Structure 1
């Protein structure tokens, strides 16, 4: 084929191709299009439901610019109104109630307040339970609201009561297991003061003396075995209109044979044994303690 014939044949083919162009479809058709519309519609429904739920939650929880529900955020801190429940630990600097309203902390088991140092170590704890109120700290103090005076303080070494008067209203009185140091013990007006040790001894000591005074009543000292009045450097002075020593043993003494006409003995003298025991001996013209000293042998 000559060159002219080849060019002519190529031009004819190009003319034929230009007369019959081919088109290719562009886009999504068929089931793909229906699935796309379905997912778009489902997404729109989910968005509308989420928006409705969000508005409902905001309405129910009472969300506002200042807070939500009973919780309000103010310049001074957070304000809670009504009853509030905390399921996890609460860390705050200060808790106080509204004016003229009580602050109530309530729990089904107990209420525990902990104090920690900067290292997180427990330094103080107050537990209010159904059985008891427990405080664990180095020193526990109760102060007066007006003057700030310490009314009660307790630590490992001592317990201090700072009130002007300690009043015990129990019918059984006060029980001390060990010694008691106090400058003054007084009963209520028209009431008796009783110091008693049921199973042991009762000892009162003072570097400058012990003073016992009953201005409007009687003073009684009763013991089961022995009552000791001891003065190491001074004297024991009994000053009263009448001094009675009851239940003293009597020694029998007679300088002459007993006759029916002998008058009844009514006068006695007090004698002392070497061990300090007292007894009565019939009085005579002279002392009869020596002749009736046989009673000392049975003491």
Structure 2
């Protein structure tokens, strides 16, 4: 074979290999080296990656839309949220607010032109606690009663200087100038009552009554019972006792009437009636019982009268 022909064939092969290497996108490989594999994600893996990226993008868009919607509905601003406003003085709530859990605050105050309303379906309870968490005072407003639990309960005047009503474990004090009871049955006291003055309303009767026990009025310097306009009536079922240990019982009136006084007759004259009498004298038995005896020239009062014997 001609040597020139073989050289042309070799040059042609080299030219073909250089064309193939130039056509490939990767870096040129050395002659005689094994072919390199291209790295990447192809097929179903590539589709799953694109689907995951799309799902994350949709989730992010939905979360952003929900966040914007919540901010719009709840009315979030730089000053607060909805009806809640944060001011320098504290927190301000406008409109109706509902609390599902306990509320711990230092002071609750309404607006100057509107009242403060605390409302609950069952009851409203306000409690005060000490440093140890123990309840020292509690006010409960329920559907049937209002209960206050404290060491001392006070009701003061509008200026806060005078105590109108106070109550503790030992006593109850009424500091008002007048205590008025408007019930038809009046006031019922199970034990003693200490007061400087008991007075009825104008044109109304004053009645002190003890239906089954004794009514006692005591005072170190005397008890005064007066009716400047109307009548003074004292009635009892059994005995009426007027007793003065050191002084006297003074009855000062234009007319003193003693009704239902029995007529007394001496034992010797039983069965012999006295003649018709229009004038009698008042007699007294040793036990203090009074009776009437016919008035004659001399006294007819006798200690052995029938009234004194049967009394």
TM-score of the alignment, normalized to the shorter chain, above 0.5: yes
Stretch of structure 1 that moved more, 110-119 or 147-156:
147-156
* Shift in CA distance, 222/259, structure 1 to aligned 2, threshold 3 Å: closer
Q: Is 1:47 aligned to residue 57 of structure 2?
A: no
Task: Tell me the residue number matched to 2:188.
Answer: 175
Per-residue deviation, 1:35: 0.7
Match of 1:297?
309
User: Where does 1:242-261 land on structure 2 (aligned, <5 Å)?
Assistant: 242-252=255-265
- Give yes or no for contact 2:266–2:305 (8 Å, CA) kept in 1: no
Report the TM-score when normalising by structure 1.
Answer: 0.89
**Which residue of 1 is the match for residue 292 of structure 2?**
280
1:102 aligns with 2:102: no
Q: Which residue of 2 aligns with 1:220?
A: 233
Listed as ranges, the gaps of 5+ residues in structure 1 are: 1-15
Q: 1:77 maps to what in 2? A: 90
Q: Does 1:90 align with 2:100?
A: no
1:152 aligns to 2:165 (yes or no): yes
- TM-score of the two chains, using structure 2 as the length reference: 0.86
**Superposed displacement of residue 200, structure 1:** 1.4
Q: Please list, as runs of the form range in 1=range in 2, the aligned pairs for 1:175-254 lying within 5 A after superposition.
A: 175-252=188-265
Task: Give the alignment's Cα RMSD to 1 decimal.
Answer: 2.1
Q: Deviations over 1:7-62 (max 9, x none)?
A: xxxxxxxxx96245512111211111111111011000000000000000000011
Quick check: 196-205 or 40-49, which moved more?
196-205
3-state DSSP class of the match of 2:282?
Answer: strand
Q: How does 1:256-275 map to 2 (within 5 A)?
A: 264-275=276-287
Q: Does structure 1 conserve the Cα–Cα contact (< 8 Å) formed by 2:155 and 2:166?
A: yes
Aligned length: 282
Residue by residue, what CA displacement relative to the aligned partner does 1:145-169 show, whole Å, maximum 9, x if unpaired?
A: 1253100000010000000011111
2-structure distance, mates of 1:249, 1:147: 64
Q: Which runs of 5+ in 2 are unaligned?
A: 1-28
- Looking at structure 2, the residues matched to 221 and 139 of structure 1 have their Cα atoms a distance apart, in angstroms, of 40
The worse-fitting range, judged by mean Cα deviation, of 186-195 and 50-59 is: 186-195
**1:291: how far off?**
6.6
Alpha-carbon shift at residue 263 of structure 1 (Å): 6.3
Partner Cα separation in structure 1 for residue 152 and residue 303 of structure 2: 69
Deviations along 1:210-244, one digit per CA (max 9) or x if unpaired, are 11110001000000011111111111110000001
Confirm or deny: 8 A CA contact 1:281 1:292 kept in the other structure. no
Q: Return closer, same or farther for 1:34/1:121 CA change in 2, 3 Å cut-off.
A: same
Aligned to 2:24: none
